Structure 1
């Protein structure tokens, strides 16, 4: 199950079914007026305050240029890929989610940011995050935005009811690994019979995969390794969580996922920095002051995070780079955090006063003291262009385990489906 690196990077045509499909024709015109740097992103992906400044006052350091932003709704990735394939009215800048490697096979559609001095800024950003947007050929096709370092969130009132320590350091010592986390969940069930530690097993998959380093499903030279024991063990982990009744079995993306948090049924969760805002802070505001966060079981990990890329159709790549490097400077990443909890990818941001403010929702805890070390300790992991094919298959089979399917059958079916899909993509 191997393919050469040259072959891997030449598979743009084979990846067309789920990638860009660059067979379109068009005038290759960029979007917007000659003095506009146009940007497509999704809602709450960048600081509204900072972008508005660049829209009205111009781009700092790029005299004569201003930004024109469009928040693209619906299926963002589909619209971006369709527009790139059409080669007409393409924005100067596009936002890319954590699946940045999807675009590696079409790297020629983007400006190599090293051509504009990006390498000189590397020391200001987390290595693992920076490396995610570097293609196997060494081209930097995007610039780091936010990250999603993980922590262990917990409700102090519900842990007290169960006779469990609420001290962050003591709790972290009690659940240093996944065995300890499962044991913590079983202890919680003694006082709350239906207590769970996750809404569904996809959450377990996301978190555990985010803790792994090195090659995930594919090596950089194109060998498929998603059938190794380290990945199989996540299926086994999911089975154990489900067998102990510690998964709510909620449909991913449904209101039931919010419900297990709002009802108090899920008193603990391993989650990224954005999890706290999206769940307890959003759906259980009456629990303010009752939550805390500590070091996650199993070690540091990352869930989510995004990037900004400059398309090759940009009318002025230099002005576009000036904008994105300003927008994602350490100081401005702090602004994005205070505005909408986008956790910085620059460690220089971590020490700034705004990041160290006590958080009322977490009982006045300085949560940066948990998330900053977690962010620094995330392992570098290689994401391939074909993760977009593999991940959904793994997700589906983990959901099947949650519904009672045996690990053996789920694992076999996952590997068979992956082999079929990667063969269709032209990898094998």
Structure 2
């Protein structure tokens, strides 16, 4: 991370140790041990831990409210339906969507991207059309478009990045041509931490008549999301990365775009009338939520958003940027360690390599000290190919992590280096 005025302000406003300790008490799993050592969870980029507010809300739903929704006249069905649709309202407020019906519940960001690719892409793209990506995309924002490339004959165009891991925005803009029918890119890189200038990029794409899908799977845990301010056409996120349940995510889309898209799947609850001679479909959001949805997941996700609002996004950003700056400074003191991803604006994760050590060995040895990190390609194989690597070790921080945990990481890494390299 390169210090700037925004970062300096955040660090000055970082929460007190007492506040951080109180936050940690909200997460039961942080009190457990791994291999006889206190758990130090630094794999938040893969999946975050869950606060009691979410766990308790899930337990309450299953103990007191569970029934199928939208179909029953009995009390439990009505209560479950009310809770599910109230969750949609909460999600819409959290993302600042214009209407709740613009928020579609999915299994995660991956399914949300696949929904847009299959529905909008299948109806609007044809041979020779181009979809503009970046080299830092997660596989979930590559493979669905490749499947359309095979099926329809579209072309994928990939924008480059700098050695520091920043998108070359001018090069990206030059790649927008009359054949470009969609730009899809990550708000923040899950491997480099790079925060892309999404609002400016969306404006540039719109100026050339190109709609934008913004992958917020990594950004939504670290910053306040305002889809109307961003003016993205679609935005996707995953609950399990935002302190919510697994198996739930959100596709936001502008109502006019979603309303013109054909259904993604067929089944119950997304239909108006069915006969063997034909079927008519419901409007938004039901037309994209076939079958029984993850009711508990949606309710739990709303509880996670309420919890984050109670903490405050400014406090979260201040704590995480402090952790990022501290960890960066400490890791740079380790001989032979290289950090990949040195953008001026980053979310709180660091990918690194240590000369002579394989990431998997590092991850295994850290686990013996109770420290959980990620190793491998992090579902960004083309990105690491650009750097001549097959993967890295990644430490990713949430607001409940501490400087003391980073100190333990550094101590363990130095011990591992001495053990393997002498």
Asked if Structure 1 and Structure 2 have the same fold, meaning a TM-score greater than 0.5 normalized by the shorter chain, the answer is no
Q: Which structure is higher in strand share?
A: 2
- TM-score for both structures, normalised by structure 1: 0.30
- TM-score for both structures, normalised by structure 2: 0.30
